[in-house]
Amino acid sequence: MKKIQISPSILSADFSQLGNEIKRLEEAGADMIHVDVMDGHFVPNLTIGPPVIKALKKQSSMIFDVHLMISPVHKYIEAFSDAGADIITIHPEATDDLSSSIQKIKKLGKKVGVSLNPETKIQVILDHLDKIDLVLIMSVNPGFGGQKFMPEVLNKIKDLKKIQKSKGFDFDIEIDGGINFENSKEAIEAGANILVSGTTIFKSNNGDIKKNIELLKSK
């Protein structure tokens, strides 16, 4: 079984102190940093772009797990790669040619992730699973932090895990959206090995990030 990893979402961090917030996460034992990139078009919100990622990357040696919620995504992949993204995750709905976008990320030497919204079926990515490093299962509708977890997506993780075992694939299964101390256990049991969490990590237990990361990892 893969090691359980925590990817804190900086969407819930103090944006006036982002560099310091990332240092705090690193010291607290986070495995990577989850960066949500939204364009106000593919999803109804705006966040950060390549210049901010580039500035933050200079201050940290951590893996930058960059989730692109932008459309059309293909033409922006290189900019985020150059900025320092280590994992680039895209949505099938945001590209005209998923295979081509996957290949582009690979050619740039980055790990490739594909994200499935709650209503997106696994069938959309079946033909690509042998080329994907990570599948991100959204347990909320993307676009805003702080939404309520949708437990029905756990079946999608279980189905994905079965396919993974039967085919001998080695991709990570990441879950993002409303993850807290209770449903994190369900997600791990279903087969997820990377948990994205924002509010729970930064706000629970009086902001004790180290304790919150450890609690999320424990089954």
* 176 catalytic per annotation: yes
Entry pTM: 0.96
Position 178 scores a pLDDT of: 93
Position 218 scores a pLDDT of: 85
Position 71 scores a pLDDT of: 97
* 172 catalytic per annotation: no
Which residue among the candidates 36, 65, 133, 172 is catalytic per the annotation? 36
Q: Give residue for tokens 């922006």.
A: 76
The domain of 41 spans 5-217
Contact 60, 23 (CB under 8 A): yes
Which residue among the candidates 39, 133, 172, 176 is catalytic per the annotation? 176
Q: What is the CATH number of the domain that holds 110?
A: 3.20.20.70
pLDDT in tens for each of the 219 residues of the chain?
Answer: 789 999 999 999 999 999 999 999 999 999 999 999 999 999 988 899 999 999 999 989 999 999 999 999 999 999 999 999 999 999 999 999 999 999 999 999 999 999 999 999 999 999 999 999 999 999 999 876 667 899 999 999 999 999 999 999 999 999 999 999 999 999 999 999 999 999 999 999 999 999 999 999 986
As for how many domains the chain has, the answer is 1
